[in-house]
Structure 1
Amino acid sequence: MKAAVDEDRCRGHGVCNALCPEVFTLTDDGYAEVRVPQVPAEFEETVRTAVGQCPERAITVS
């Protein structure tokens, strides 16, 4: 699974980073970005939770 953050939609709420800091990080400006090219299997469910809880619906998975 791969995760992506739409930088045009992200508003820096940080929910994804709070839920799964192993996959998401925040830039110096406070916006989310994915820190790994492939989501490790043990974090897939948590990443799906982050997708559902992102207030801006800025995260997608494939």
Structure 2
Amino acid sequence: MKVSVDFDLCESNALCVAMAPDVFELDDDDYLVILTEDVVDENRDRIQRAVAACPKSAISIVED
């Protein structure tokens, strides 16, 4: 599985960064960057919390 972001919906409000800083970050221009797309056991819970916290529903987990 992989994490996916609809950048047309994303407002880069950084809630996902707070939930999963090993997966998401904001660049110098405050745009969201995915650091790793792979959803693995070690980051699954954090990514699921980020998906649930996104106010624009821009983040999802998709099958490979």
Query: Normalised by the size of structure 2, how large is the TM-score?
Result: 0.83
Other-structure match for 2:39: 39
Distance 1:11 1:36, change over 3 A: same
RMSD: 1.2
Report which of the two has the higher share of helix. 1
Q: Percent identity?
A: 37
Distance 1:5 1:33, change over 3 A: farther
Q: Which 4+ runs in 1 deviate beyond 3 A? A: none
Consecutive unaligned residues in structure 2, runs of 5 or more = none
Aligned residues: 62
Consecutive unaligned residues in structure 1, runs of 5 or more = none
Query: Normalised by the size of structure 1, how large is the TM-score?
Result: 0.86
**8 Å Cα contact 1:5/1:32 also seen in 2:** no
Other-structure match for 1:4: 4
